Chains A and B, each alone.
Chain A
Amino acid sequence: MHNSHEHEHEFKIPLGPQHPALKEPESFSIALKGEKILGVDIRLGYNHRGIEKACEERTFLQDVYLLERICGICSHSHSTAYVQAVEEIAGLAVPPRALYIRTLIGELERVHSHFLWLGVAGHEIGFDTLLMYTWRDREIVMDLLAQLTGNRVNYGINTIGGVRRDIAPEQGKDILAGVATLEERTKYYIQIATEETTIIKRLSGVGIISKEDALRLGAVGPTARASGVDRDIRREDPYAAYAELDFDVITDDHCDVYGRTVVRLKELMESFKIIRQIVARIPDGPIAVRAPRKIPAGEAFSRYEAPRGEDVHYVKSNGGEKPERVKVRAPTLANVQTVKHMLKDRFLADMPIVVAAIDPCFSCTDRMVGIRRLDGEKKEILGWESLRSFSLGWHRARGFDVTIAEKRLHQLMEH
């Protein structure tokens, strides 16, 4: 496609693993021609911690605290998704008050996460004033979380069968006061984001992903909702107390970074609405039921709308004290595929904000999948090609020849 003359002006610049734009180590290799991006090579894997495997070595209760540490920002999301799965396997009826408290912490977490994101987005487009303002206001919700749970991050409020701390009535007043201030500030930020010229210039039309592509690439959370995908687990598959609460799912048709900003800001207003309802309606009663040490055999699948999108946990128990398998699919894994798409033919200057706009958490996402050959002498890790040929052979032995269907598909596509 390119002639040799054009190739002379192309070069690759590394963004990462260590780079000021990135908060975690990951590597983007950008092929540039002048300021235009020709292609992006994303390499993850600098943050792999083997948490899923570590979960199999610990008891169900210990895993709550381990999984909470998958992510510092959405720690409550991961622990809630996990305890929900375990409670489902064990058939525990969690008291309503506990569900409300979980929801409350979850929404406060969303508020702090979205504020944090707004600041990071400001920094990525060289608008540090926004960063300083939002992170100052974020302290209000961090203080609230510290007051309610004892921790600013990794709240440790979830336990299997309920929550560990109750909320006193006077704490409700503090929450309402904090939420009132935050709501004022959020209105101001909505005004800034929708009226300030340089912000709009840097955000609108950048990182476009159409609704079809968002669906095809499996985008979740604000990234999908900003492309008009009306999907929110809190409404689709209500967990905790969301079925009894009244809120709107925010969507936007801009399909760009500007849309993602607007969606997050408006979601903040919805979160404030939810928090107010929780403080007003929280039922009385116990905050936890006793959970057995050994969880009966079974498996469960739990979905949670984390601030960054749908977080999925799968837990399998074999009837012992430790889970047989815990599988985590963090929202960034679903969204990261869209980044490559969004960056096509954009400018180098758009790179940081486009990556930041999916609100990536790479340590949540980092996985290592290795499939070992069980037969044979060598315990080698299978590559893609050998896995494929293994799969073809496996199917052929059972009477299916996948290659014939594949060839026919290619023929159809050519015509």
Chain B
Amino acid sequence: MNALFLILIFPGFLFLALFGLFAEFIDRKLYARMQNRQGPPWFQPLADFIKLLGKEDIVPDEANVRMFRLMPLFALTAVVSSIIYIPLWKTGALYSFSGDLVVVLYLLTLPTLTFFIGGWYSTSLYARIGSVRSLTQMFAYEVPLFMGLFSPALLADSWTLSDISRFYIDHPMYCFFNLIGFGVALVALLGKLEKAPFDIPEAETEIVAGTFTEYSGRLYAFFRLAIDIEMVVGASLLAAVFLPFGLKDEAAIGFLIYILKVVLVVFLLTLARTIFARLRIDQMVRFCWKYLVPLALLQLLIVLFLKGVLLQ
């Protein structure tokens, strides 16, 4: 019973869904305010979700029906499962084992794969171009993202997220060694969430809605919800390994600080989306390998050096 509550209500599906919709609202509202617009009311993402649920599901004749219908659920499941291993406000996650950081990263890779498969099997030309683009993009941002997230793990000498948090309780100031890694991971997260300047797989003016061109109704609603939750989970992951503040506080304050940390990451993502134009796919790949990867390597070198010199 308790396990069901954890999975379905808190901090599982329901909490994540509502928090995801809230994060979408924050993103849209900030985006609008920074563009000198009014922006949507707070309930708009929820209203959009409910409206989409009520719309007809249209599956293209040529599409592989089973794959087309399964992929949104797959994406949703993957992102919701990954929250289990991420410590949210106290040091311990719901469940943890040695090396769970790697599992979380792989679970977060799954949505991109579902975008690819869903887009590919919907057989629309725009969707196929979009899905190939999201896969191409994945190969560009995944490596810097992994390397960026490994630097705190190296620092804490553990591949377990809960252990990293526990390490930070003793050394809270060490998080400032990882600022470069935070930046790299943040930019890579932009790519993972397919937000401008890396919204290439959904470039509206080129390929309509990319992967999601043929999706409508409930299926599209689930895809969108999965992306919202992915944003929250990604931000939580970054907050857990790069922003270890308020870990010692009691649950209520810790929870509030956790929310603030996620909102901060969402704000940074929105800021990037506001001030940059969309890159081309070749420019994006080049940027990731030319700048992000060396920066992540530099971060790893810094951490190794610190461990060798300071922490002896």
Contact = CB atoms under 8 A, between A and B. Distances in A.
A11 B207 CA distance: 14
Given A20-B205, A20-B208, A352-B205, A126 B278 contact: yes
B226 interface: no
A136 B36 CA distance: 8
A58 interface: no
Given A13-B126, A21-B205, A123-B205, A199 B281 contact: no
Contacts of A347: 280-282
B278 A125 contact: yes
A128 B35 contact: yes
B199 interface: yes
Contact of B276 (A19, A32, A127): A127
A349 B281 contact: yes
B206 A21 contact: yes
Interface in A344-371: 347-352
A412 to B, nearest CB: 43
B275 A129 contact: yes
Contacts of B37: 132
Contact of A348 (B129, B196, B278): B129
Contacts, number: 77
B55 to A, nearest CB: 19
A129 B274 contact: yes
B200 interface: yes
Contacts of A341: none
The size class of the interface chain A forms with chain B is 20 to 34
B203 interface: yes
A172 interface: no
A202 B125 contact: no
A198 interface: yes
A20 B204 contact: yes
B280 to A, nearest CB: 4
Interface residues of B, number: 27
B277 A133 contact: no
Contacts of B282: 35, 347
B204 A125 contact: no
Contacts of B208: 19-20
A167 B208 CA distance: 46
Interface in B267-290: 274-283
Contacts of B277: 122, 125-127, 130, 196, 198-199, 201-202
B246 interface: no
A63 interface: no
B278 A127 contact: yes
A389 B35 CA distance: 60
Contacts of B206: 21, 348-349, 351-352
A127 B197 CA distance: 8
Contact of A133 (B35, B126, B276): B35
A126 B197 contact: yes
25 contacts: A13-B125, A13-B129, A14-B125, A21-B205, A35-B282, A122-B277, A125-B277, A126-B197, A126-B205, A127-B276, A127-B278, A130-B277, A132-B35, A132-B37, A133-B36, A198-B197, A201-B277, A201-B279, A201-B283, A202-B279, A202-B280, A347-B281, A348-B129, A350-B280, A352-B206
Given A126-B278, A132-B35, A198-B277, 17 more contacts: A19-B208, A20-B204, A20-B208, A124-B205, A126-B196, A126-B204, A127-B277, A129-B35, A132-B36, A133-B36, A199-B277, A201-B277, A348-B207, A349-B206, A349-B278, A349-B280, A352-B206
Interface of B: 34-37, 125-126, 129, 196-197, 199-200, 203-208, 274-283
Closest 6 CB pairs of A and B: A126-B278, A127-B277, A21-B205, A132-B35, A198-B277, A352-B205
